[in-house]
Amino acid sequence: MASPFYLWQASRLHCHPLSCQRPPRRRLLACVLAGALWALALPVTATEPIPGHSLESIRTWVLEHNPELRAMGLETQAAEARILPAGALPDPMASVGFRGLDPDKPWRTVGAEREVNYALRQRFPLWGKRDLARTAASQNAVAIGLDRITAARDLLSDAEAAYARYWHADQAVAVLDRRIALLRQVEEIAGVRYALGRAPQQDAIRAQVEQTSLQRERIERLAAKQEAAATLNAVLGRRSDAPLAAPDEAPRLAVRSASLAEALDAADTHPAVRSQQARAEAARTNVVLQRRNRFPDITVGVGAMQLGNGIQSTELMLEVEIPFQQRARRERERESRLLEEAALARRDATLRAVEERGASAWSQWTSARERRQLIQNTLLPQADATWQSALASYQVGEVDFGTLLEALNEWQGADLARVDALRDELLGAAAVRAIEGDIR
């Protein structure tokens, strides 16, 4: 008969089946905690929408995530923070002096009592110098803020142009795919006619050669699409290999101006021109400030003399600068005048550059728009009719295969030219919008 000890050990080794199937509570709790931590550790960017499906998503991403705009925004805030200190009073000066010290033991006085002098001085710039310094700092801050607006316009224009190229690459590949599919149908028709003895085998082989040539062009268009995607990601401030959503529809860039003259009227109010104007005004303010520096400032001070434990006397001091360094002052005034003239010249140069960009962009936009309208309204219907006629004539043997292939190339080539013209129209519209100031 087994002893109670062995029975107890057997009961530990062979537990009840139901009790053995239940998982330990610690293991279950660990699994729950691990799942919660994994959910919390998911990257935040996973819920962030991927730009690229529309032009509005590209604009929004540029304004919110571009690092260059963020840096320039911080620089604008830093320039605004310099306005108040520019017109502030300089810090006062406090001094303590000891008299009657023993040269051998400076920490002791010769007599029984120590004489200590206390003084506090404050310099006061007069003649409106503080207001002028504050005005110049404010004008420089305005110029830096306008630089950020200029950069935002340029970045949005670059983003719109890059998105137009990105969309165009997709459309060009789609046109080539349709062309290749049509060539396969033509190849089948040529094969049937060859089997019936109505056409040479050369027709089918020529269709295959044409398909191979289009495949080579398709590879080039796909490479252009990857390049456009990398350029677009660079403008957006993302990695060059970051994913982009496929465009949902063709981008639309409306131009508000009805003529080139109307578009160039906005050149005077362009933020780049206004920024240089603000710098010129700051330089002019600095010229006035340098002239005011001819007049001396004053320093007011108060003091007291302590003898022993009591105040023996007090004093009031007034200090005035003596303008001895006249040559240095004249050179500073000359420097400020030259900087003002340079700022005005730079303002004129910026205005001419903006006008030149506007005229060039307007010419590109109008010519591309006219070309696209001509292709879409006239050339495409004509090429389509030619293709349909050549296909029907080839099926009954009235035209040769070369005529059919030429009609197909003209039809699909016109469609590809329409897409290329639309791309050029969008690029010109993006450049015109940068001059007009439409950043919506």
pLDDT in tens, 57-102: 888 888 888 888 899 999 999 999 998 988 888 889 999 887 777 6
Residue 26 lies in a domain: no
Torsion of CA 146, 254, 55, 236, to 10 degrees: -30
Residue 289: pLDDT above 80?
yes
Q: What percent of the chain has pLDDT over 70?
A: 85
Burial of 213 (0-12, 13-18, 19+ CB in 10 A): exposed
Which structural domain, as residue segments, surrounds residue 291? 57-436
Distance, CA of 10 to CA of 114 (rounded, Å): 99
Distance, CA of 212 to CA of 218 (rounded, Å): 10
Residue 355: pLDDT above 70?
yes
Residue 2 lies in a domain: no
- Nearest CA to 183 out of 408, 334, 398 is that of 408
Q: Can you tell me which residue has the tokens 């495949």?
A: 215
Residue 279: pLDDT above 60?
yes
Mean pLDDT (whole number) for 394-401: 80
Query: Pairing relation of β-strands 93-99 and 298-307?
Result: unpaired
Q: What percent of the chain has pLDDT over 90?
A: 23
Mean pLDDT (whole number) for 338-342: 90
Q: How many residues does the chain have?
A: 440
* DSSP-derived secondary structure letter, 379: I
Can you say how many angstroms the Cα of residue 339 is from the centroid of all Cα atoms in its chain? 30
Distance, CA of 212 to CA of 187 (rounded, Å): 13
Residue 67 lies in a domain: yes
Residue 124 lies in a domain: yes
> Which domain CATH number covers 104?
1.20.1600.10
Which are the contacts of 84, defined by CB distance < 8 A and separation ≥ 6?
134
Residue 193: pLDDT above 50?
yes
What would the 3-class secondary structure string for 128-165 be?
CHHHHHHHHHHHHHHHHHHHHHHHHHHHHHHHHHHHHH
Mean pLDDT (whole number) for 377-390: 90
pTM of the model: 0.74
The torsion angles phi and psi of 326, rounded to 5 degrees, stand at -70, -35
Residue 24 lies in a domain: no
CA end-to-end distance (rounded Å), the chain: 95
Structural domain total, the chain: 1
pLDDT at 278: 92
Amino acid symbol at 120? L
pLDDT band at 252; cut points 50, 70, 90: confident
Residue pair 371/434 in contact (Cβ under 8 Å)? The answer is no
Residue pair 107/236 in contact (Cβ under 8 Å)? The answer is no
Distance, CA of 103 to CA of 202 (rounded, Å): 118
Residue 312 lies in a domain: yes
pLDDT at 41: 44
* DSSP-derived secondary structure letter, 245: P
Distance, CA of 336 to CA of 331 (rounded, Å): 9
Residue pair 322/340 in contact (Cβ under 8 Å)? The answer is no
pLDDT at 21: 45
Residue 294 lies in a domain: yes
Weakest mean pLDDT among 35-49, 60-74, 192-206, 327-341 = 35-49
How many angstroms separate the most distant Cα atoms in the chain? 137
> What DSSP string describes 8-67?
HHHHHHS--HHHHHSPPHHHHHHHHHHHHHHHHTS-GGGGSPPS-SSHHHHHHHHHHH-H
pLDDT band at 9; cut points 50, 70, 90: very low
Cα 180–Cα 182–Cα 184 angle in degrees, nearest 5:
70
Residue 153: pLDDT above 60?
yes
Mean pLDDT (whole number) for 352-371: 90
Residue pair 416/172 in contact (Cβ under 8 Å)? The answer is yes
Residue 296: pLDDT above 50?
yes
pLDDT at 48: 66
Alpha carbon distances (Å) from 17 to 10, 21, 25, 28, 424 = 14, 6, 17, 19, 77
pLDDT band at 439; cut points 50, 70, 90: low
Token pair of 47 as six digits: 């819920």
Residue pair 200/190 in contact (Cβ under 8 Å)? The answer is no
Token pair of 397 as six digits: 């043997």
Residue 291 lies in a domain: yes
Distance, CA of 221 to CA of 211 (rounded, Å): 15
Residue 46: pLDDT above 60?
no
Weakest mean pLDDT among 87-96, 123-132, 301-310 = 301-310
Mean pLDDT (whole number) for 305-329: 82
